């Protein structure tokens, strides 16, 4: 019993020693051999270091050759787009559009301004202008049946309050639309009706003095509009921030000068300075000033073309189609009046 047990214990010890020795030795030898084989075959850590160095060198070359130039070009393009948008909204002193930059990109889908929408609203303003035109002839013929004009008069006594009221309403409506663009649909309508009446009376006054001048002015105005449209759409005329500043500054100066002369003519119509200005305007120098006025009106209308285009391209909400179309109709009216004035001065010097 004791012998057997001792033999069993001895056998177990022998087995344990053999197994531990064989396994440890074989495994350690195999692992060390495998590690040495890998190092000899693949270069081990040296190969990994070389591979990582190659990776780093290749990434640097790729970034320098491709990523950095692409990012620089993209940033330059993005900056140029921001500058173009900024030049449209902030580089000229037209209050109707000066503060619209905060609305760019607000609309989506059907709420975005479109060229068709601008065209439709422009047609609407033309029709409203035609109502004012018709109102003049209806009222003038109505007053003619009950009153008589004295020699040299063009306006019946009943028409004078209407004429003054139309002037006041058009001034107020124009100022409101300039500083509150969202009201353009309403006050632009009032403005166009009043201007339809006033422009028709002005044309009637010129036609009584110069035969056929109204038709000539209409034809020349349409011709100028057609030429400007072609030049702008072909990119021959480009509206830049500096161009806008020059045009609107010159326009503002001419308006202020006209208002000053009007006040002087009302307060002191027989003063030497008023008479001198009238003589200059009726002479050859007056034709030159009228030509400059036509060029200024053409430049203003070109800016109105660009305002309409930028309204659509900048993604302004649909309500700003009214602003763009109102700018177009006012530009056309201004151009027509300047052409009419030029033709009248040419007739005076014949």
Query: What are the tens digits of pLDDT across the range 281-340?
Result: 888 899 999 999 999 999 999 999 999 999 999 989 999 999 999 999 999 999 999 999
> How confident is residue 41, by pLDDT bands cut at 50, 70 and 90?
very low
What pLDDT, on a 0 to 100 scale, did the predictor assign at position 282? 85
Would you say residue 79 lies in a domain?
A: no
Q: Which of 70-84, 124-138, 211-225, 335-349 has the least mean pLDDT?
A: 70-84
| DSSP class per residue in 301-315 | HHHHHHHHHHHHHTT
Range of the domain at 213: 114-348
Would you say residue 21 lies in a domain?
A: no
Cβ neighbors of 175 (< 8 A, separation 6 or more) are none
- Token pair 């639309």 is at which residue? 177
Q: Measured between alpha carbons, how far is 90 from 299 in angstroms, rounded to an integer?
A: 18
150 DSSP assignment: P
What integer is the mean pLDDT of 7-33?
47
Percent of the chain having pLDDT more than 70?
68
Are the beta carbons of 93 and 249 closer than 8 angstroms?
yes
* Residue 112 dihedral angles phi and psi, to the nearest 5°: -90, 145
250: number of Cβ within 10 Å: 15
What integer is the mean pLDDT of 218-233?
96
Whether residue 37 is predicted with pLDDT greater than 90 in this model: the reply is no
Q: Measured between alpha carbons, how far is 345 from 289 in angstroms, rounded to an integer?
A: 10
> How confident is residue 12, by pLDDT bands cut at 50, 70 and 90?
very low
Would you say residue 252 lies in a domain?
A: yes
205: number of Cβ within 10 Å: 14
Would you say residue 28 lies in a domain?
A: no
Would you say residue 335 lies in a domain?
A: yes
Whether residue 221 is predicted with pLDDT greater than 90 in this model: the reply is yes
Whether residue 81 is predicted with pLDDT greater than 60 in this model: the reply is no
CA-only gyration radius of the chain, Å: 42
Q: Measured between alpha carbons, how far is 245 from 216 in angstroms, rounded to an integer?
A: 31
> How confident is residue 75, by pLDDT bands cut at 50, 70 and 90?
very low
The kind and range of the H/E element at 139 are helix 115-144
What pLDDT, on a 0 to 100 scale, did the predictor assign at position 53? 52
Percent of the chain having pLDDT more than 90?
52
What pLDDT, on a 0 to 100 scale, did the predictor assign at position 139? 92
Whether residue 35 is predicted with pLDDT greater than 50 in this model: the reply is no
> How confident is residue 262, by pLDDT bands cut at 50, 70 and 90?
confident
What pLDDT, on a 0 to 100 scale, did the predictor assign at position 117? 95
Question: Which residues make beta-bridge pairs with 317?
Answer: 112
What pLDDT, on a 0 to 100 scale, did the predictor assign at position 106? 52
Structure tokens at 263: 């006040």
Structure tokens at 265: 């003519």
Are the beta carbons of 213 and 340 closer than 8 angstroms?
yes
109-159 pLDDT, tens digit each: 568 999 999 999 999 999 999 999 999 999 999 988 877 777 767 888 888
Would you say residue 147 lies in a domain?
A: yes
Would you say residue 319 lies in a domain?
A: yes
> How confident is residue 50, by pLDDT bands cut at 50, 70 and 90?
very low
Would you say residue 119 lies in a domain?
A: yes
State the burial class of residue 12 (Cβ atoms within 10 Å of its Cβ: 0-12, 13-18, 19+): exposed
The mean pLDDT of the chain is 78
Q: Give the residue, 264 or 52, on which the prediction is more confident.
A: 264
What pLDDT, on a 0 to 100 scale, did the predictor assign at position 157? 85
Cβ neighbors of 329 (< 8 A, separation 6 or more) are 122, 125, 126, 129, 188, 192
Structure tokens at 223: 């011709």
Q: How many domains does the chain have?
A: 1
Q: Measured between alpha carbons, how far is 151 from 148 in angstroms, rounded to an integer?
A: 10
What pLDDT, on a 0 to 100 scale, did the predictor assign at position 109? 55
């Amino acid at each position: 019993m004791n012998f057997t047990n001792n033999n069993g214990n001895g056998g177990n010890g022998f087995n344990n020693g053999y197994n531990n020795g064989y396994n440890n030795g074989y495994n350690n030898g195999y692992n060390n051999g495998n590690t040495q084989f890998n190092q000899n075959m693949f270069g081990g850590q040296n190969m990994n270091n070389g591979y990582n160095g190659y990776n780093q060198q290749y990434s640097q070359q790729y970034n320098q050759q491709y990523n950095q130039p692409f990012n620089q070009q993209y940033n330059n393009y993005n900056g140029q787009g921001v500058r173009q948008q900024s030049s449209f909204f902030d580089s000229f002193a037209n209050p109707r559009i000066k503060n619209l930059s905060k609305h760019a990109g607000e609309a989506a889908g059907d709420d975005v301004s479109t060229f068709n929408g601008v065209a439709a609203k422009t047609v609407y303003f033309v029709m409203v202008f035609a109502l004012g035109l018709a109102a003049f002839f209806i009222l003038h013929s109505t007053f003619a049946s009950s009153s008589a004009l004295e020699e040299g008069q063009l306006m019946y006594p009943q028409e004078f309050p209407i004429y003054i009221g139309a002037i006041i309403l058009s001034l107020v409506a124009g100022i409101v639309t300039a500083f509150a663009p969202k009201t353009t649909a309403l006050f632009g309508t009032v403005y166009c009706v009043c201007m339809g009446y006033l422009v028709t009376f002005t044309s009637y006054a010129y036609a009584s003095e110069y035969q056929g001048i109204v038709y000539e002015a209409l034809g020349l105005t349409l011709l100028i509009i057609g030429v400007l449209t072609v030049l702008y759409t072909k990119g021959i005329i480009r509206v830049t921030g500096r161009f806008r500043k020059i045009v609107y500054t010159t326009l503002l100066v001419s308006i202020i000068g006209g208002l000053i002369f009007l006040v002087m003519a009302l307060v002191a119509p027989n003063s030497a300075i008023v008479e001198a200005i009238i003589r200059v305007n009726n002479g050859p120098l007056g034709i030159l000033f009228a030509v400059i006025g036509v060029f200024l009106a053409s430049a203003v209308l070109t800016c109105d073309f660009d305002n309409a285009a930028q309204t659509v391209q900048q993604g302004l909400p649909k309500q700003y189609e009214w602003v763009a179309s109102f700018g177009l109709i006012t530009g056309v009216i201004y151009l027509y009046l300047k052409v009419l004035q030029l033709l009248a001065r040419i007739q005076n010097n014949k």
